[in-house]
Amino acid sequence: MYEQKSKVAKQATGQENTVRDTPVLVLDKAAIERIILILTLECQSPNSGIQSFFEVICGINVSAGRISNVINEAAQRAQAYDDTIDLSGIGQMAIDEIFQCGKPVLTGVDPVSTYNFLLEEAADRTADTWAIYLEDRKDKGLNPETSINDGGTGLMAGLPQVFPDIEIQADTFHALQGMGKEVQKLERAAYKLISGEAGLKEKLAGKRPRAKHNESLAGIQAKMDGAIKMYDSIYILFAWLQALLNFSGYSLADTRILAEWVLSEMELLAAGNPGYIKEVVKIRKLLPGLLSFIGRLERGMRETAEKTGIPVDVFKHMYQQMAFSPDSPHGIESHCKLAMQLGEKYTEAQNEFNLLLDTTKKASSMVENLNGRIRVFIEVKRVIPTSFFVLLKVFFNTRKYRRSRYAARKGKSPLELLTNTSQPDFLEALGY
């Protein structure tokens, strides 16, 4: 730092011109504040780490109190900036609860733009609490057609108080999670019997085999065969159910019939297994909401057909192709026929269809993604102060994607994706 000061002084008096192209960091108040915020948010650094940076790299002392004041001031600016954002562009929302030290943090994300519109620590997660926070967002323009969420009691009771006509998309990930665990239990039970059989065979192959080992082997083999058959059958049915709760290529009506059949077969196979039966009953109850995304996709096809003039049957055909492997003879033949039929319109139709798939969401995975990013800060700070959540929210919303599997997101921030306009970056938005 002292060397920098000396170079700046010499350059100002004309005594040294060799450093004109050398970047010089002027550690004024504004620079220190920007560095504190970037170290806190971009580098997830604790206050002690920020102090060490200034001491070792810059040669100055910055107190913990000053760091705290800068962050608190930034949080106030973030709240003021966040209040100006119009949320009317959100057509689908994923809402859920994440937890910090047992306290719920009510969370809401637009799964299309990935914009985080709700991140508030609350005293509880009752229906009234959810209604209060959603009503506040409604005042800022939030009025989605679809809500993607799990079956949380308070959430499900509070949501219709604010949005009585909203369509509920049951989160497919949470719905299948419990059943997946039951499948794993069946797998472990089968492997345990396989290990037991191997152990008995080893004893019988030893120098002193006993008759009781033969009797035990016969008994365990019967159980093992039954357990393997049970697991294999349930695993196949579970894989089919997972496929049906995805973009399977089947219509809503056909998917409902097939899913009901799979659940009935599971129920027959799992008779006597109360844990698995409970999961089957849960899925059957949630089924209309779990398949909501297919109905929205079909409506989207009709609306896109009216907008573009491309026959709706073209989009239906493209969706039906998803039931086949891209390399299968039927899939290739079907693809070629459609391309020849549409000619120059094929690329436009394919792009429109891909956009429909990308914007029809069926899971609240963006909330889980956000939860993972917040956990990093919780590990550093132990407990995130309530005011810090809004700072995180604005930081995440104004941070540009450096890479993404969705080409449209690369180089843009969630706020830019939501508003479809250029927006300031984090420091600029807060006035730093």
Neighbouring C-alpha atoms within 13 Å toward the C-beta of 330: 8
Query: Consecutive 10-residue runs of the chain (432 residues): their mean pLDDT?
Result: 54 54 80 94 92 91 94 96 96 93 92 95 94 96 95 91 95 92 94 86 72 70 90 96 95 96 94 92 95 96 95 93 82 82 89 94 91 88 85 96 86 95 95 94
The pLDDT of residue 210: 66
Neighbour-count burial of 360, counting CB atoms closer than 10 A to its CB (0-12 exposed, 13-18 middle, 19+ buried): buried
pTM of the model: 0.84
Phi, psi (deg, nearest 5) at residue 328: -75, 150
**3-class state of residue 326 by DSSP:** coil
Q: How many other CB atoms sit within 10 Å of the CB of residue 301?
A: 21
How far apart are alpha carbons 3 and 179 in whole angstroms? 65
Q: Which CATH number fits domain 92-171+363-429: 3.30.420.10, 3.40.630.40, 3.40.50.300, 3.60.15.10?
A: 3.30.420.10
| Predicted pLDDT of residue 214 | 65
Dihedral of the alpha carbons of 124, 130, 136, 139, in degrees to the nearest 10: 180
The closest alpha carbon to 93, from 162, 41, 153, 154, belongs to 162
Cβ proximity of 67 and 345 under 8 Å: no
pLDDT at 14: 55
Q: Return all residues near 235 (Cβ < 8 A) that are at least 6 apart.
A: 183, 186, 187
- Number of Cβ within a 10 Å radius of residue 332: 14
Q: What angle do CA 244, 248, 254 make, to 5 degrees?
A: 65
Of 44, 9, 14, the closest CA to residue 24 belongs to 9
Can you give the residue ranges of every domain in the chain? 2-62, 92-171+363-429, 172-290, 293-359
At residue 11, the pLDDT reads 52
Tokens for 323, please give them.
């039931």
**pLDDT value at residue 21:** 66
Q: Give me the half-sphere count of Cα atoms (radius 13 Å) on the Cβ side of residue 177.
A: 10
pLDDT of residue 207: 64
Other beta carbons less than 10 A from residue 44's beta carbon: 14
pLDDT at 199: 80
* Secondary structure of residue 171 in the 3-state scheme: coil
Amino acid identity of residue 141, one-letter, is: G
